[in-house]
């Protein structure tokens, strides 16, 4: 029953925006008095409420913000899921985690009230909303933080909320920076982040592959010998390549290299590990649900290779210098993958294995009727299901 109610609320979220938008505009916290400005002086807030993979991609630009604001206190307001990564990065002086799952659930009025009260205690000289995928709930957070100046990225080539809604919430910002370039609507996110950072700070830095510094790991999690990682999870089933195919690809990697197979994932992905083990001829090191997020990153760092879906694991591999192959669909082709940077600094970029189709860049919400029918029959996006094991093996031959 709870899930049914949640689905209903998600469906009516745009209607609830009609409550959110006037409220956040009316209650937008601005610092205008001298005492308030003096108190907030030297403090800069970066708001980044994206999911883990998007957050990893942004760390390249975050490092530049740290460099440009090196003499100021840098406050990060982030998705709670990214808090550990943010701490490990060493880039931020203060971190304010937000439970975006509860925040995105527009009917959770009690949680929002408590969150706004907590955020009201923060005051900064400059607030910068850095996420391209801005939502109305992002602006609920921004409006609650007191700042002398508020800046946001806005790119009308793709809005993550209805355009009419963001047109109205733009009013809480002192500066709205459009990063859109004609003909580059699906610009790789690293490039877009860098462009925004340069426009805000006046920096001339060139985008590169994000870097995650090494963190301590429990001794029992240090795997001996050469191994590769299978990271088979995904944000939802339609994006996930079938496990029998992953097992066949993993078998090919092992037979070709002699490396041991290790599978990683969240506790709720144990069923994927079981499916891999059932279809794999040999021993599998199953680390699913046995590590923290930071520990899983270190396991990937020490691996020889990673293969996975379009999920955070691919970005962990990139940020730790581990070669990787992503079995990828075309819903946002070019935006998150394949990687495109101005200076790779000799670091390996994740490779992608895709089946090119005319419906690429459907942004999921504009799926073709054929894809919708295919999903009803198989549970998978057509572009994911069309990627064959033979195609993946050919990609592996080019990489390994």
Q: How confident is the model at residue 3 (pLDDT cuts 50, 70, 90)?
A: very low
% residues pLDDT > 90 (the chain): 69
Q: How many of the other CB atoms lie within 10 Å of CB of 66?
A: 19
Edge-to-edge strands of the sheet including 123-129?
Answer: 94-98, 73-79, 43-48, 123-129, 146-154, 175-178
Give yes or no for residue 4 having a pLDDT over 70.
no
Are 300 and 229 spatial neighbours (Cβ–Cβ below 8 Å)? yes
* Per-residue pLDDT tens digits for 174-207: 999 987 765 566 789 999 999 999 999 999 999 9
Residues with Cβ within 8 Å of residue 322, at least 6 apart in sequence: 229, 300, 301, 303, 304, 305, 306, 316, 348
What is d(CA 356, CA 333) in angstroms, rounded to the nearest whole number? 10
CB 324 within 8 A of CB 337: no
pLDDT at 156: 66
CA–CA distance, 324 with 342 (Å, rounded to integer): 20
Is the model more confident about 13 or about 43?
43
CATH of domain 224-399: 3.40.50.2000
- Confidence band for 1, pLDDT divided at 50, 70 and 90: very low
pLDDT of residue 332: 82
Residue 166, pLDDT above cutoff 50: yes
Question: What 8-state DSSP symbol labels residue 220?
Answer: G
Give 338-390 pLDDT, tens digit per residue: 999 999 999 999 999 998 888 887 777 788 888 889 889 998 888 888 999 99
pLDDT in tens, 301-351: 999 999 999 999 999 999 999 999 999 887 788 888 999 999 999 999 999
Domain ranges (residues) in the chain: 10-201, 224-399
User: What is the rounded distance in angstroms from the CA atom of residue 381 to the CA atom of residue 256?
Assistant: 30
Contact 290, 313 (CB under 8 A): no
Residue 261 has pLDDT above 60, yes or no: yes
CA dihedral sign, ordered 9, 132, 360, 322: negative
**Span between the terminal Cα atoms of the chain, in Å:** 49
What's the rounded mean pLDDT across residues 295-300? Answer: 97
- pLDDT confidence bin for 106, thresholds 50/70/90: low
The order of strands in the sheet holding 324-327 is: 284-286, 260-263, 227-231, 305-308, 324-327, 351-353
The arithmetic mean of pLDDT across residues 58-78, rounded, is: 97
Buried b / exposed e along 224-239 (16+ C-beta atoms within 10 A) = eeebbbbbbbbeeebb
Angstrom distance (rounded) from CA 153 to CA 136: 13
d(CA 72, CA 68): 9
pLDDT value at position 103?
Answer: 87
Burial class (CB in 10 A: 0-12, 13-18, 19+), 192: buried
Would you state the CATH architecture of domain 10-201?
A: 3-Layer(aba) Sandwich (3.40)
Categorize the per-residue pLDDT at 126 as very low, low, confident or very high, splitting at 50, 70 and 90. very high
């Amino acid at each position: 029953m709870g899930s049914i109610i949640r689905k209903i609320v998600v469906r009516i979220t745009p209607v609830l925006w009609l409550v959110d938008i006037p409220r956040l505009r009316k209650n937008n916290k601005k610092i205008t008095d001298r005492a308030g400005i003096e108190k907030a002086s030297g403090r800069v807030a970066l708001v980044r409420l994206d999911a883990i993979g998007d957050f990893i991609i942004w760390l390249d630009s975050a490092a530049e913000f740290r460099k440009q604001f090196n003499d100021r206190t840098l406050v990060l307001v982030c998705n709670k899921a990214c808090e550990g990564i943010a701490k490990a990065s060493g880039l931020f002086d203060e971190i304010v985690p937000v439970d975006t799952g509860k925040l995105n659930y527009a009917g959770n009025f009690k949680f929002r009230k408590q969150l706004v009260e907590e955020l009201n205690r923060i005051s900064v000289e400059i607030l910068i909303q850095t996420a391209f995928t801005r939502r109305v709930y992002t602006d609920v957070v921004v409006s609650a933080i007191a700042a002398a100046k508020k800046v946001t990225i806005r790119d009308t080539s793709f809005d993550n909320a209805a355009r009419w809604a963001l047109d109205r919430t733009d009013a809480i910002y002192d500066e709205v920076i459009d990063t859109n370039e004609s003909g580059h609507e699906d610009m790789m996110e690293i490039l877009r982040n860098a462009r925004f950072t340069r426009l805000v700070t006046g920096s001339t830095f060139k985008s590169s592959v994000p870097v995650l510094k090494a963190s301590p790991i429990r001794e029992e999690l240090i795997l001996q010998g050469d191994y590769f990682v299978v990271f088979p999870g995904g944000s939802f089933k339609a994006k996930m390549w079938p496990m029998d195919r992953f097992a066949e690809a993993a078998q090919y990697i092992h037979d070709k290299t002699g490396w041991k197979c290790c599978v990683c994932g969240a506790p709720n992905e144990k069923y994927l590990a079981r499916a891999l083990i059932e279809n794999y001829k040999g021993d599998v090191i199953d680390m699913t649900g046995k590590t923290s997020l930071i520990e899983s990153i270190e396991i990937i760092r020490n691996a020889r290779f990673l293969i996975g879906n379009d999920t955070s694991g691919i970005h962990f591999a990139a940020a730790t210098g581990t070669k990787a192959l992503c079995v990828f669909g075309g819903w946002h082709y070019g935006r998150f993958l394949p990687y495109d940077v101005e200076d790779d600094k000799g670091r390996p970029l994740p490779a992608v294995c895709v089946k090119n189709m005319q419906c690429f860049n459907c942004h999921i919400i504009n799926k073709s009727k054929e894809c919708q029918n295919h999903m009803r029959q198989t549970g998978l996006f057509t572009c994911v299901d069309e990627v064959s094991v033979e195609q993946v093996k050919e990609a592996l031959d080019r990489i390994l």
